[in-house]
Amino acid sequence: MRRKTLTWENLHKKGFEGPSICPMCNQAEETMNHLFNTCEWADHIWQGMETIMHQTSRDRESIQNTIMNWPSKYSNNSKINSIWKVMPGFITWTIWKERNRRIFQNEHRNTEHSQITLTQNIHQLILVKCKADPDNQASAED
């Protein structure tokens, strides 16, 4: 992660003016680590995935460290591992989409709705992976 995500923290560095409050919680400055990691809204999304996957390996001090150091292996199944490796991307993309929805469309979705959408996206990825190799479909469902 190159730390170039256009959060208000980075926009201010480029000379843009505007509110720097997190649009998700309206309580703290919108930094990359806050938005994607420590914001109450983001934390709820991460915790939901921790429940589903029974762990995450998230570094609560640094979202960059979470992404850079995410383990490549979750199980003995290569398809599950390939899905596991993209989990931080799915989670941060879900948070980013909701952040932009709030700023640009003035729409707010709760974490439960976003969690369902995230889970559906992961399910779709699993189906795509299984279709790519139909002989191993049963093992991908383990």
Q: What is the DSSP letter of 69?
A: T
Whole-model pTM: value is 0.79
pLDDT tens by residue, 55-97: 778 898 999 999 888 888 888 888 888 888 889 999 999 999 9
Question: What residue type is 12 in one-letter code?
Answer: H
Q: What does the domain layout of the chain look like in residue ranges?
A: 32-140
**Count of CB atoms within 10 A of residue 132's CB?**
11
Sign of CA dihedral 72, 75, 78, 80: negative
Question: Exposure string (b/e) for 89-123, b if CB count within 10 Å is 16 or more?
Answer: ebbbebbeebbeebeeeeeebebeebbeebeeebe
pLDDT tens by residue, 23-65: 999 999 888 899 999 999 999 999 998 888 887 788 989 999 9
